[in-house]
């Protein structure tokens, strides 16, 4: 496994977007028309990331509150402590392998989460075998901003769109994340 510091999050998202938007690939989950609908707003080119917000205040408090809610909803969950500078780095330090079906180098995913920590005040609240749960203190508040974040989420975890609720489009996913203070990811 590499270091999260060795990766540029924007480059990773663009690389993953390019791989997941190939229309000549065969995916059992979606028809060609459904795959084209996913990427319709942007085509084969990932849009530029949402501009960084001002320094995010209250991110740790938001994470604490979301952790309480998460623990109430998932009473079987257990606390884990990892020696790391931030939650994003803890993913790599712990050797988490959630997105292994897509990439075995967790540090790449840590690099993206670290960028979201900076831009949106995201905090790692829970991880599972193939899940990641983040609290977000500064989510996108407009449809336009949410669509850009939805594109990042698709590049980061295409299963959120491919296997999520129908219709399988970035627009539909973006509608669900406007103002949402938690982002959940699941890799098949």
10-residue mean pLDDT series, the chain (188 residues) = 87 90 66 76 80 72 93 91 92 92 91 95 95 95 92 93 75 92 93
Question: Structure pTM?
Answer: 0.89
d(CA 145, CA 140): 5
d(CA 158, CA 172): 14
Beta bridge partners of 132: 127, 185
d(CA 16, CA 121): 23
CB 126 within 8 A of CB 154: no
d(CA 183, CA 188): 17
Helix (H) or strand (E) holding 93: helix 87-93
What's the pLDDT at 130? 93
**Residue for token pair 């994470």:** 63
């Amino acid at each position: 496994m590499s270091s999260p510091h060795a990766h540029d999050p924007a480059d990773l998202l663009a690389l993953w977007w390019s791989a997941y938007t190939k229309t000549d690939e065969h995916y059992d989950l979606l028809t060609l028309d459904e795959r084209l609908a996913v990427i319709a707003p942007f085509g084969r080119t990932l849009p530029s990331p949402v501009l960084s917000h001002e320094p995010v205040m209250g991110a740790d408090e938001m994470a604490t509150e979301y952790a309480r809610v998460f623990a109430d909803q998932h009473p079987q969950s257990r606390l884990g402590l990892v020696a790391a500078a931030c939650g994003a780095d803890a993913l790599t330090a712990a050797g988490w392998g959630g997105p292994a079906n897509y990439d075995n180098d967790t540090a790449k995913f840590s690099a993206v989460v670290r960028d979201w920590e900076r831009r949106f005040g995201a905090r790692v609240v829970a991880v599972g075998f193939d899940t990641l749960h983040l609290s977000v203190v500064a989510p996108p508040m407009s449809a336009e901003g949410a669509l850009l974040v939805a594109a990042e989420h698709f590049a980061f975890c295409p299963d959120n769109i491919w296997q999520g609720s129908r219709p399988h489009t970035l627009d539909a996913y973006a509608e669900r994340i406007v103002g949402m203070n938690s982002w959940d990811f699941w890799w098949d």
